Copies of this chain bind each other. A is one copy, B any other.
Amino acid sequence: MAVTLADIKQAAERIAPYIHRTPVFTNENLNRRVGSQVFLKCENLQKVGAFKFRGACNAVYSLSAEEAPNGVCTHSSGNHAQALALAARMRGIPAYIVMPNNAPQVKKNAVAGYGGVITFCEPTLEARESTLAKVVAETGANIIHPYNDERVIAGQGTATLELLDSVPDLDVIITPVGGGGLLSGTSIAAKGFRAGIRIIAGEPEMADDAHRSMNEGRIVPSVNPNTIADGLLTSLGTLTFPIIRQNVEQIVTVSEQGIIDAMKFIWERAKIIIEPSAAVAVGVLWEKKIDLRGLKVGVILSGGNVDLAKLPWQ
């Protein structure tokens, strides 16, 4: 069962009462700097500060009346954990979050603040998975994977429905790519809307596993990635990779300096806070490795969760 435009439209209806319809901003300075007409879809202004709330919300509200009472669970130290905790609280069910014990304090606080029940584990994938299995065995909670889940992919695609509703004649849409949930959902929504829309992803040079996966035709795992874009450390999933292979024109890598420069420019000129992972999508335009001049380009600003005490330009 593949995710379709119809699934995304259904997700949009399902989550409409709970999410923000985020604004689309334009910025003259950015347009001049990059040479395109850029439309910024501000998912940094989404609840919990990231598009992740869309997918989590769709997954939580897709649970049947029988499934729901056991709650949901996941292992994540990032925005998905916060998103799942808030969506679960809205539905009135528990969210069990497995987090590595070295996760930043702000992230622990945020998940706890949304009512998530945290179980800490060693910071290895093995520990995360075995701890999660234990939580499931104890609680019967429904696992909601951060991206390799059709309900989540459909939810992430809803941002693009809104974007195209506001700006129907986009030539290109750019998203960042980590595990590929946002990119997959975006591509299905956009290609379903108009097959000619080009889908391009930005990925950190220092975590270029998706770029290499596309070249090699198989999922290349992300091994010890070292980038400031801490939302893009994961590998593609078995559900997201085939979608991306089919729909995505190109994955463009962005340097660390390009990420930082694009991020700072958006803060200074657009006056909105975006996290490094969101800046990666802007970085595709910023570094001009591909020619998008004169085109109408939608950019999904994926999130705005940043530790204000540690900014990359300081």
Contacts and interface: CB of A to CB of B under 8 A. Distances in A.
Interface of A: 23, 25, 28, 44-45, 47, 49, 264, 267-268, 270-274, 304, 308-309, 311, 313-314
A50 to B, nearest CB: 10
B271 A267 contact: no
Given A45-B271, A308-B313, 5 more contacts: A23-B23, A45-B272, A267-B273, A271-B304, A314-B314
Contacts of A25: 45
A167 to B, nearest CB: 16
A272 to B, nearest CB: 5
A272 B304 CA distance: 9
Identical copies of this chain, number: 2
A49 B270 CA distance: 8
Contacts of A23: 23
Nearest to A23: B23
A295 B45 CA distance: 24
A271 B308 contact: no
A309 B44 CA distance: 22
Contacts of A49: 271
25 contacts: A23-B23, A25-B45, A28-B47, A44-B271, A45-B270, A45-B271, A45-B272, A49-B271, A264-B308, A267-B273, A267-B308, A268-B308, A271-B272, A271-B273, A271-B274, A271-B304, A272-B272, A272-B273, A273-B273, A308-B311, A308-B313, A309-B313, A309-B314, A311-B311, A314-B314
A207 B38 CA distance: 41
Contacts of A45: 25, 270-272
Contacts of A273: 267, 271-273
A270 B45 CA distance: 7
